[in-house]
Chains A and B, each alone.
Chain A
């Protein structure tokens, strides 16, 4: 049962997760893959496509840079700019040679292409012309809407620095195991957006979530469309068997729902189901330490009766929530550090997936690695809200 040969094949035969589409969407997202970590000023999108010739009014350029994707502003800014050389990028305007009489001579400026791309995206969405995998993952939507939103958070708001990316496998399955924190599980979203952006092969992280997430309308669909699924062994093993990078937070609600005074103290790791999933598929485990999540919504108290009433695992009281109402939902701008640790190979332990001793030992090893890395990172970051 544990040793199905197809699993092996799938694990090693999976093509590198589409460098073609990845490369393209990275360009579309306007993000430079690996620059200096935590590029603080919002890098001008698509630096390669910036107008290289005489701008009429160079003073308007910063305006254009900051107001990303606001069409009206964009239009004006571009209209004042001089133009570029390239032809309109293909698919958005099919068979439209010199595109439109009005701008036939200068079709390739970047705003024009951005508008065309946005419209093509809208049309695809409205016509249902996109692919969804069996878990409900919608890469088209994730790349075009979800990751850009999270990117603003992790790059500009949290100034996230990511290290140890070389430890995340460039292709094939991998199980990323992290510490959970922050009252709201933002760390999972930021981890997945950071991997997509900063990893050399732009990998998607397929998150495993508690069933509570999938009970809630809207939230459940967001989780599925961005690549998440229910944390259960059949799903974890299926994803790993397909050669996906799977992200899991074994602390669960114990991790995100802990008080601020317990910050960066790893909670219990449950039954170690994630370890047996990794063992059954022979997948390396990549521990990851995330610093910064604990300060975004520092939880001062947990009103247990209210939590029970609302059937939630906890009801948080933070310096801003529930006092400031919706304003309390704004996370505090802490400084984030994410560090991937060297992978722990499991291929030689495939037959021990049901051996509780092996499973617990491995879970402990992962837990210790994360805890020690957390301490190291905290020393590097004396001020939680520093630059």
Chain B
């Protein structure tokens, strides 16, 4: 239970979703950790070639989650980190139906397999702050105890609620297994590539008219640190994981040097649909809801349990901005220069007027 204790490090770890950025990076970190003997990466698809270098020390198994049961038993697996979630429907890979198949059915199958694995001691599940749903009566800051007031409209939000429900069932059936659920804020950072980072990378950014949601981000490196420690150490429970502090959407867009274009909310769903069909970003109701309501969580429990504070939302966003300076429309320096210019010219005009009078 003590943070940083090494005695409880698991020998054999299975990581799902190693074909994607988060899974591959976590598997690489775990493989580099001397406390952990063996890291097995599971993904039905071959990993992205860019990630192949990371996975040199990881045993890769191409396997669907429904045939995972045998693997968990045969290899005496101690810990499972379940990261194979799809956050937005991808039209090339089956759209929303495939996304739900992977998120909900995949998690069910994984938990069913985990339930039958005798040596399993630890289960780490990736969740999201979307678990709190959206409602106008929501409190401004969610703690882990906050119950969602309304079921979210977006597919990902609903999947997350289902997934957390299955994990609750698993906890009841296997109380001796340490289950850690990590509710992550949207990832951002130098290397992150998500729906949201692509959104902020555009030079002109659509927003919803009359709404300026409060956002929180999590630096992708901090997400990996928390995941790594959840696998290697004993941290039972559900935790909000987000960068402290808040950026409003308009503020974030200005810090990124982009230009916001407010769109009326009824129109936005249509615009998003058009953009989707043009293969131009994957915005859905999840994003619209986030941009109407915003989402801020309390991270006190994470800080107390892990003794770790992720870098602040503003710092994480700055790191992202440094990586995407390409589409900048206005820079801070330009603004400062313009300020000096206007101030100087006003002074000039005034002094000439004064001399004449």
In the assembled complex, B280 has its CB within 8 A of some CB on chain A: no
Known contacts A134-B214, A217-B209, A232-B139: A99-B347 contact under CB 8 Å: yes
B246 to A75, Cβ gap below 8 A?
no
Known: A103-B350, A125-B254, A230-B136. 13 other contacts (CB 8 A): A78-B350, A102-B348, A103-B347, A115-B343, A116-B343, A123-B336, A126-B254, A128-B253, A132-B251, A214-B136, A219-B210, A238-B139, A238-B141
Q: What distance in Å separates the Cβ of A71 from its nearest Cβ neighbour in chain B?
A: 8
A217 to B146, Cβ gap below 8 A?
no
Chain A residues whose C-beta falls within 8 Å of the C-beta of B97 in the assembled complex: none
Chain A residues whose C-beta falls within 8 Å of the C-beta of B146 in the assembled complex: 234
| A218→B265 CA distance, assembly (Å) | 12
CB contacts under 8 Å to A, within B86-144, are 136-141, 143
Interface residues of B (CB under 8 A from A): 136-141, 143, 146, 208-212, 214, 245-248, 250-255, 265, 294, 296, 330, 332, 335-336, 338-340, 342-344, 346-354, 357
A102 to B339, Cβ gap below 8 A?
no
Known contacts A102-B347, A132-B248, A136-B214: A127-B335 contact under CB 8 Å: yes
CB-CB nearest in chain A for B141: A134
Q: What distance in Å separates the Cβ of B313 from its nearest Cβ neighbour in chain A?
A: 10
Q: What distance in Å separates the Cβ of B54 from its nearest Cβ neighbour in chain A?
A: 34
Candidates B140, B212, B245, B248; contact of A230 at CB < 8 Å: B140
B353 to A126, Cβ gap below 8 A?
no
Chain B residues whose C-beta falls within 8 Å of the C-beta of A115 in the assembled complex: 343, 346
Candidates B141, B211, B338; contact of A221 at CB < 8 Å: B211
Name 15 A/B residue pairs within 8 A (Cβ), A-sorted: A92-B343, A100-B348, A102-B352, A103-B351, A115-B346, A129-B332, A133-B246, A134-B141, A134-B245, A215-B136, A217-B209, A221-B212, A230-B140, A232-B139, A234-B141
B138 to A230, Cβ gap below 8 A?
yes
| A232→B138 CA distance, assembly (Å) | 8
Chain A residues whose C-beta falls within 8 Å of the C-beta of B335 in the assembled complex: 123, 126-127
Chain A residues whose C-beta falls within 8 Å of the C-beta of B294 in the assembled complex: 136
Instruction: Give how many A residues have a beta carbon under 8 Å from the other chain's beta carbons.
Output: 49
| A234→B343 CA distance, assembly (Å) | 46
Candidates A135, A138, A218; contact of B210 at CB < 8 Å: A218
Select the residue from A56, A128, A220, A221 with max chain B CB neighbours within 10 A: A128
CB-CB nearest in chain A for B139: A234
Known contacts A123-B336, A127-B335, A132-B247: A235-B353 contact under CB 8 Å: no
Candidates A79, A99, A128; contact of B251 at CB < 8 Å: A128
Q: List the 8 shortest-distance A-B pairs measured between CB atoms, nearest first.
A: A217-B210, A128-B254, A128-B255, A218-B210, A234-B139, A102-B351, A79-B353, A128-B251
Q: What distance in Å separates the Cβ of B119 from its nearest Cβ neighbour in chain A?
A: 38
CB contacts under 8 Å to B, within A217-275, are 217-221, 224-225, 229-230, 232, 234-235, 238
